[in-house]
Amino acid sequence: MRTVAIDTRGEAADRPSKSSGETVKKQRTSPALFYRQIVAELRKVIWPTRKDLISYTTVVLVFVLIMVGLVAGIDFLLTQGVLAVFGGA
């Protein structure tokens, strides 16, 4: 007997649930089938090339540095403003 994973898309999602007191026993997916499904999904993934990865990493690092500079600048200005209003040591 072959176990089939429970499908929640397509026709299965369109069917109304049986909430009239009937309990529906759902079949569990076996660990082996679950693993095969994971491997099948990972084969569909389009992995970035080394060039893409370096490009994405550079963009993220530059963005983070800009945001750190912005937050530090705003923090400095607010600190100077508070010290000017309330006096500083």
> Residue 85: its pLDDT value, please?
93
Q: What is the mean pLDDT of residues 79-83?
A: 94
Q: Is residue 47 part of a domain?
A: yes
Q: Is residue 3 part of a domain?
A: no
Domain range for 38: 11-86
Q: Is residue 53 part of a domain?
A: yes
Confidence class of residue 17 from pLDDT cuts 50, 70 and 90? low
**Has residue 65 got a pLDDT over 70?**
yes
Q: Is residue 2 part of a domain?
A: no
Q: What percent of the chain has pLDDT over 70?
A: 72
33, 5 in Cβ contact below 8 A?
Answer: yes
Q: Is residue 1 part of a domain?
A: no
DSSP structure class, residue 32? H
One-letter amino acid identity for 73? Answer: G
Q: Is residue 6 part of a domain?
A: no
What domain count does the chain have?
A: 1
Q: Is residue 74 part of a domain?
A: yes
> Residue 14: its pLDDT value, please?
60
